[in-house]
Amino acid sequence: MICIKIISGNNDRICKFDFQTDAIETLRIMRADQSNRHFHFIGICGTAMGAVAAAMKDRGYTVTGSDQNVYPPMSDFLADKGIEITSGNSPDNIPEGVNLVVIGNAMSRGDVELEEVLDRKIAYTSLPELLKDEFLKGKRNIVATGTHGKTTTSSMVAHILKFNGHDPSHMIGGIPLDLGQGGKFTDSDFFVLEGDEYDTAFFDKRSKFIHYLPEVVIVNNIEFDHADIFEDIDDIKLSFKRMLNIVPRNGVVFVNGDDSDAVDVTFGCPAPVIRVGVNDQCENRLQDMAFSSGSSSFTLNGFEYEVPMDGEFNVRNAAMAVSASLFVGLGESEIAEALANFSGVARRQEFRGEESGIKIIDDFGHHPTAIGSTIDAIRQRYEGSRIWALFEPRSNTSRRNLMQDQLESALSKADGIFISEVPDPEKVPSGELLNVDAVIEGLKTKGKIAFQGSDSDDIVEKLIPLTEPNDVIIVLSNGGFGGIHSKLLQGLR
Task: Give 429's DSSP letter.
Answer: P
In tens, the pLDDT along 106-144 reads 899 999 999 999 999 999 999 999 999 999 999 999 999
Residue 339 · residue 326 · CB < 8 Å: no
Percentage, residues of the chain above pLDDT 70: 93
Range 85-103 average pLDDT: 95
Which of 70-74, 395-399, 451-455, 467-471 shows the lowest per-residue confidence on average (mean pLDDT)?
70-74
- At 310, the amino acid letter reads D
Range 227-252 average pLDDT: 92
Average pLDDT of the chain to the nearest whole number: 89
Burial 280-302 (b: 16+ CB within 10 A, else e): eebebbbeeeebeeeebbbebbe
In sequence order, what are the beta bridge partners of 351? Answer: 361
Which among 245, 128, 248, 135 has a CA at the least distance from the CA of 194? 128
Which among 175, 139, 137 has a CA at the least distance from the CA of 159? 175
pLDDT at residue 10 in the model: 44
According to CATH, the superfamily of the domain at 136-340 is Mur-like, catalytic domain (3.40.1190.10)
In tens, the pLDDT along 17-64 reads 454 555 445 444 444 455 589 999 999 988 788 889 988 898 899 999
Residue 390 · residue 473 · CB < 8 Å: yes
pLDDT at residue 33 in the model: 52
Does residue 285 surpass a pLDDT of 50?
Answer: yes
Looking at per-residue confidence, does 254 or 6 come out higher?
254
SS3 95: coil
> What number of CA atoms fall less than 13 Å from residue 329's CA on the CB side?
7
pLDDT at residue 18 in the model: 54
Q: 377 vs 265, 315, 421, 474, CA distance in Å?
A: 29, 11, 26, 11
Range 328-344 average pLDDT: 95
Sign of the dihedral through C-alpha 217, 152, 372, 286: positive
> Cα-atom radius of gyration of the chain, to the nearest Å?
25
- At 290, the amino acid letter reads A
Does residue 84 surpass a pLDDT of 90?
Answer: yes
In sequence order, what are the beta bridge partners of 298? Answer: 305
Range 286-300 average pLDDT: 91
Residue 370 CA to residue 376 CA, distance in Å, equals 10
Q: 150 vs 124, 130, 218, 293, 370, CA distance in Å?
A: 28, 21, 8, 23, 12
- At 288, the amino acid letter reads D
- DSSP for 228-283 reads TT-SSHHHHHHHHHHHHTTS-TTSEEEEETT-HHHHHTTTT-SS-EEEEESSTT-S
Fold of 350-492: Protein-Tyrosine Phosphatase; Chain A (3.90.190)
Residue 489 · residue 477 · CB < 8 Å: no
pLDDT at residue 41 in the model: 97
pTM greater than 0.75 (yes/no): yes
Residue 172 · residue 154 · CB < 8 Å: yes
The band of 291, judged by pLDDT with boundaries at 50, 70 and 90, is confident
First-residue to last-residue Cα distance in the chain: 79
pLDDT at residue 85 in the model: 94
**What's the CA dihedral at 86, 90, 96, 98 to 10 degrees?**
70
> What number of CA atoms fall less than 13 Å from residue 292's CA on the CB side?
6
Residue 323 · residue 157 · CB < 8 Å: no
The DSSP H or E segment spanning 288 is: strand 284-292
SS3 355: strand
Helix then strand then coil, % of the chain, to nearest 5:
35, 25, 40
In tens, the pLDDT along 449-466 reads 999 988 899 999 999 999
pLDDT at residue 25 in the model: 53
SS3 449: strand
Domain ranges of the chain: 2-33, 36-122, 136-340, 350-492
Does residue 83 surpass a pLDDT of 80?
Answer: yes
pLDDT at residue 34 in the model: 55
Quote the distance between the C-alpha of residue 89 and its chain's center: 26
The band of 3, judged by pLDDT with boundaries at 50, 70 and 90, is low
- At 405, the amino acid letter reads D
Query: Beta-strand (E) ranges in 151-239?
Result: 169-171, 183-184, 190-194, 199-201, 204-207, 214-219
Residue 218 CA to residue 233 CA, distance in Å, equals 19
Residue 2 CA to residue 453 CA, distance in Å, equals 78
Omega within 30 of 0 (cis) for the link into 270: no
pLDDT at residue 295 in the model: 87
In tens, the pLDDT along 142-195 reads 999 998 888 899 999 999 999 999 999 999 877 788 887 788 899 999 999 999
Residue 223 CA to residue 225 CA, distance in Å, equals 6
Does residue 421 surpass a pLDDT of 70?
Answer: yes
Beta carbons within 10 angstroms of residue 248's beta carbon: 11
The band of 381, judged by pLDDT with boundaries at 50, 70 and 90, is confident
Which of 43-57, 200-214, 313-327 shows the lowest per-residue confidence on average (mean pLDDT)?
43-57
Which among 89, 87, 86 has a CA at the least distance from the CA of 114? 89
Q: Confirm or reject CATH 3.40.50.720 for domain 36-122, answering yes or no.
A: yes
